[in-house]
Amino acid sequence: MKPAPFAYKKARSLDEAIALLGEKDARLLAGGQSLIATLNMRLSSPSLLIDINGIDSLAGISQKGDTVEIGALTRHAHAEHSDVIAKHVPLIARAMPYIGHPAIRNRGTLGGSIAFADPAAELPACLLALDGEIEAAGPKGKRTIKAQDFFKGLFETALAPQELLTAIRVPTANKDTRFGFAELARRHGDYAIVGLAASARADGKRLSDVHLAYFGVGNTPVRAKKAEAALAQGNIDAAVDALDLEPHDDVQATAKVKMHLAGVLLRRVAGQLMETRS
């Protein structure tokens, strides 16, 4: 199918984009790798597309103290090959190759992926596992939203209608932080059947501050907090038994299969978290 007619405007500044968002049925166009697909299928039919690709201040990766800031318009391919991400945010570096395919990663943006909040997408779960935060700008100025408060429901976020995600911020890794990432998909690059992004702190031979952020098992990325507690005790079997998830049946797998796969992924990721870093 072809998209229904819409008007198009290339925003030259953040303020212009925010002002245009006040128009009826206006949508932001960033990488377009989800939005244009939904336009083609007429699952969405905005009256105005605001192209933010020309706002250079929204792109880029920078380290500021113990935080890495990633601009909303940063392309997946840029993050995938970024030395700053590889060194300071290894979880996101590890997740990148799972996101779509090379041609998708050349266009898709980190901000778009997080603002779209697909429950089976990798980056929202990474942000949750890292206790990251989202910077949003709107008519009243900028504000910061914690990842745990951002994902509200199916494709639903804490962004107000006239707000725009401008950047994400995540803490830098240090010698004690450990990360794990695994996902199962029918085809490499497809949305996950089940996936898991995890972080923890190595505390002697134990783990503390375990974050297990699952995706593909609910309406939003979700933390499995009982399993986190069990894993911090060092007992992987108990962590698998304690998995507190409530997946639904979907086109890819039944809830029962998803629960099984969540346990498989937990064992894989637990192994990654317990590896000693050289």
42 binding other proteins? (CB under 8 A): no
CB of 9 to other proteins, least distance (A): 4
Work out which of 14, 19, 36, 86 binds other proteins, going by CB under 8 A: 36
CB of 175 to other proteins, least distance (A): 31
Closer of 38 and 63 to other proteins (Cβ): 38
CB of 100 to other proteins, least distance (A): 7
The residues pairing with 151 across neighbouring beta strands, listed in sequence order, are 157
Instruction: Give a three-class secondary structure readout of the chain.
Output: CCCCCCEEEECCCHHHHHHHCCCCCEEEECCCCCHHHHHHCCCCCCCEEEECCCCHHHCCEEEECCEEEEECCCEHHHHHCCHHHHHHCHHHHHHHHHCCCHHHHCCCEHHHHHHHCCCCCHHHHHHHHCCCEEEEEECCEEEEEEHHHHEEECCEECCCCCCEEEEEEEECCCCCEEEEEEEECCCCCCCCCEEEEEEEEEECCEEEEEEEEEECCCCCCEECHHHHHHHHCCCHHHHHHCCCCCCCCCCCCCHHHHHHHHHHHHHHHHHHHHCCCC
Work out which of 19, 84, 104, 229 binds other proteins, going by CB under 8 A: 104
CB of 3 to other proteins, least distance (A): 4
| Contact by Cβ (8 Å): 119, 127 | no
19 binding other proteins? (CB under 8 A): no
Work out which of 32, 132, 221, 247 binds other proteins, going by CB under 8 A: 32
Closer of 36 and 229 to other proteins (Cβ): 36
254 binding other proteins? (CB under 8 A): no
90 binding other proteins? (CB under 8 A): no
Only segment of 46-54, 84-92, 223-231, 239-247 that touches other proteins (CB under 8 A): 46-54
Closer of 135 and 183 to other proteins (Cβ): 183
81 binding other proteins? (CB under 8 A): no
Residues that bind other proteins in the complex, under the rule CB under 8 A: 1-9, 20, 29, 32-33, 36-37, 39-41, 48-49, 51, 53, 77, 97, 100-104, 106-107, 187-189
